[in-house]
Amino acid sequence: MRTTEIPALQSFHIEGVKHIIPSEALDAVKSGDAIMLDVREENEFQVETIDLEDILYFPMSGITGKLDQIPKDKSIIVVCQGGVRSAKVVKFLNINGFNDIASLDGGFVMWKALQLPVKNGLG
């Protein structure tokens, strides 16, 4: 999984958080090298989701209670709407022992703008 120390598609950044551009994220998930963790709130992912396998849906508001359900032995790409919440969650997960983890640079907004796979919500 190719990551960068500084985001290319958003201005928000937290020191020590790695970022991955959407096209690299797509390749990593499709190849089985990574899974996605969508931390948007339920009302957001009920509307639209990334159309890929291997996506976990744990809203940021409840992530602390889900740590035992997030695999530490896989590369993880954290997704939110614009890249701010995902960067914060990556920092939190780093502190809690998750090492191979990155924030989706530009978030779901950039994913959609690049016309990557999207489907109507989980419904």
- pLDDT, one tens digit per residue, over 17-51 is 999 999 999 999 999 999 999 999 999 988 999 99
Is residue 82 predicted with pLDDT exceeding 70? yes
> Strand 34-38 to strand 75-79: parallel, antiparallel, or no bridges (unpaired)?
parallel
Taking the C-alpha atoms of residue 48 and residue 85, their distance in angstroms, rounded to an integer, is 17
Q: Is the pTM of this model over 0.75?
A: yes
Q: Topology of 19-118 in CATH?
A: Oxidized Rhodanese; domain 1 (3.40.250)
Taking the C-alpha atoms of residue 82 and residue 110, their distance in angstroms, rounded to an integer, is 7
Taking the C-alpha atoms of residue 104 and residue 82, their distance in angstroms, rounded to an integer, is 9
Tell me the two tokens of residue 77: 């790409």
Domain residues of the chain, as ranges? 19-118
User: Which residue shows structure tokens 């994220």?
Assistant: 25
- pLDDT, one tens digit per residue, over 83-100 is 999 999 999 999 999 999
